[in-house]
Amino acid sequence: MRALGLDIGSVRIGVAVSDPSGSVASPLTVLDGRSLASDIGPLARLVEDYEPECLVVGLPLSLSGETGPQAEAVQATAERLAGAVGVPLAYADERLSSAEARRMMSASGLSEKEQRGSVDKVAAALLLQSWLDGRRNGSQESG
């Protein structure tokens, strides 16, 4: 099962893709979240190119696991995007995925400036990989 992972932020949307078997997630690209509000084309092209069976969106829950205003905003955006491209939607807990992405990139020697263009897609790959692993282990909830 191929999936696209989305790390939805207020400015950028990190995108990752799984391999066709749904085993490994890889960073793909970063989309301009502001322009997607009026032009779904860039995401639609990715859906056309990769033919995912679902969009996996990182849900920014609070550290206690609660859904707050940021998570609600992400859900609203995710539902709009998934509806526009006609692909089912699933959510993954993305708590600390961006922090983990920054930590991994720093450990590999990238400066903060060098990380700026990639941290969102690496975070998307981390959340997608977590979702894929959970699904494979039978413990993943969707939707």
Q: What is the mean pLDDT of the chain?
A: 86
**Could you give the C-alpha distances from 114 to 11, 18, 38, 50, in angstroms and in order?**
18, 24, 29, 27
Regions of the chain short of the pLDDT cut 50:
140-143
- pLDDT at residue 78 in the model: 95
Q: Specify whether the CB–CB gap between 41 and 31 falls below 8 A.
A: no
The full set of domains in the chain, from first to last, is 3-135 (3.30.420.140)
Kindly report, residue by residue over 44-78, the tens digit of the pLDDT.
999 999 999 999 999 988 777 788 888 899 999 99
- pLDDT at residue 101 in the model: 64
Q: Say what the pTM is.
A: 0.84
